[in-house]
Structure 1
Amino acid sequence: MSANSAEPADLVEVVLVKGGRTKIRYPARLLHDDGVRISVRAPWAGEGVRDFGFVRFEPGDVFTEHYWRDRWYSVKEVRAGDGALKGWYCDVTRPATRTGGELVVEDLDLDLWCSADGTVVRRLDEDEFAESGLAERDPGAASAAVAALDELEGLAREGALGTPAS
């Protein structure tokens, strides 16, 4: 088997849950799982092009995604089909769980974008987070989510998103 092909054990299904429902699920190649950090690689799983104004996700893009069992976020390195780094898209989530071939993360609405050169750092979807009612339903989770977004912003401004520590 060539170095580019994956054994079935190297594949996982990433399941992103939001508001108790599956938002998206997609296959990814397992790169790393040390019991704390899980890293996978997958092509852009959305349909067509998604233009945020500050970045476009499109067919051919490749995401190297890092999830933690003990952190309230994920960091996704985004590269164009030609390998050029676009930047990092970060989701605030509950800590990830992996059971067999399924990696499940619960999206808590807050996101952060950091451009490849680090000059653009944007907090995203704070209005959706406020409207979600999480602060009333689960104040501890809401507090952890806000702290995670603050941590991500700090990492982005330090230029440390591209080197996820275990």
Structure 2
Amino acid sequence: MPAPSAEPRAPRSKGVVVALTKAGRTKIRYPAELVRDDGTRVTVRAPWAAPGVRDFGFVRFEPGDVFTEHYWRDRWFAVKEVRTAGGELKGWYCDITRPAVLADGVLAVEDLDLDLWVSADGSSVLRLDEDEFEASGLAARDPGAAGAAAEALDELERLARTEGLTALLA
């Protein structure tokens, strides 16, 4: 992986492709508008990219929803602000990932199974998919990555329960 740049970069174009992989396979690829790239954090905006509605029980992602997604080159997570087509905040869906890499118009992100959901009012903070993370075998294959992933989930949960995620995204 290329080393992260400390210098802010001007976007080459307004569009990128987000390529999310999981367990070595492409999970989803979708076009997104590049909103900001300061050399450390890359922010993109995209409509809900999966087909149809996905109802998690605590939130529904559906056509028309808009995701403003924040990826870091030096952190092990991504934070996705989710709004309805009308602009109402639903909350934040956080993926635990390896640090993101942006090259040649592709934002490459490796999903490490752990997730966190934070409702719009901050009253609901849910750790998700810890069973999938354990079953993935990452701890045996790459203990360093597994440790970084667990620490990232703890950090996001602490922020969500204290300062709120908006402080992280400011």
TM bucket, shorter chain: over 0.9
Aligned with residue 112 of structure 2, among 108, 113, 116 = 108
Q: Which position in structure 1 is the counterpart of 2:93?
A: 89
Structure 1's 83 and 45: CA in aligned 2 closer, same or farther, altered over 3 A?
A: same
1:35 matched residue in structure 2? 39
Q: Per-residue deviation at 1:163? A: 3.5
Are positions 1:158 and 2:162 aligned together?
yes
Q: Which residue identity is paired with 1:100?
A: D
Stretches of structure 1 that go unaligned for 5 or more consecutive residues are: 1-6
| 4+ long deviations beyond 4 Å | none
Paired residues of 1:77 and 1:162 also in contact (CA < 8 A): no
Q: Matches of 1:64 and 1:34 in 2, distance apart? A: 16
Which one-letter code corresponds to 1:127 in the other structure?
Answer: D
Question: Which whole-Å CA distance do the structure 2 matches of 1:148 and 1:162 have between them?
Answer: 17
Percent identity, please.
69
Aligned to 2:4: none
**Do residues 45 (structure 1) and 55 (structure 2) align?**
no
Letter of the structure 1 residue corresponding to residue 121 of structure 2: D
Secondary structure at 1:143's aligned position in 2? Answer: helix
The answer for the alignment partner of 1:71 in structure 2 is 75
> What is the RMSD computed on CA atoms of the aligned residues?
1.4
Distance 2:169 2:94 in 1: 15
Q: What's 1:130 paired with?
A: 134
TM-score, with normalisation over the residues of structure 1? 0.93
- The runs of 5 or more residues in structure 2 that have no matched partner are 1-10
Work out the number of aligned pairs and report it. Answer: 160
Q: Write the distance in 1 (CA, Å) between the matches of 2:47 and 2:163.
A: 24
Q: Do the aligned partners of 2:122 and 2:164 also contact (CA within 8 Å) in 1?
A: no
Residues 75-128 of structure 1 show CA distances to partners (whole Å, capped at 9, x for unaligned) of 000001110000000000000000020000000000000000000000000000
Calculate the TM-score normalised by the size of structure 2: 0.91
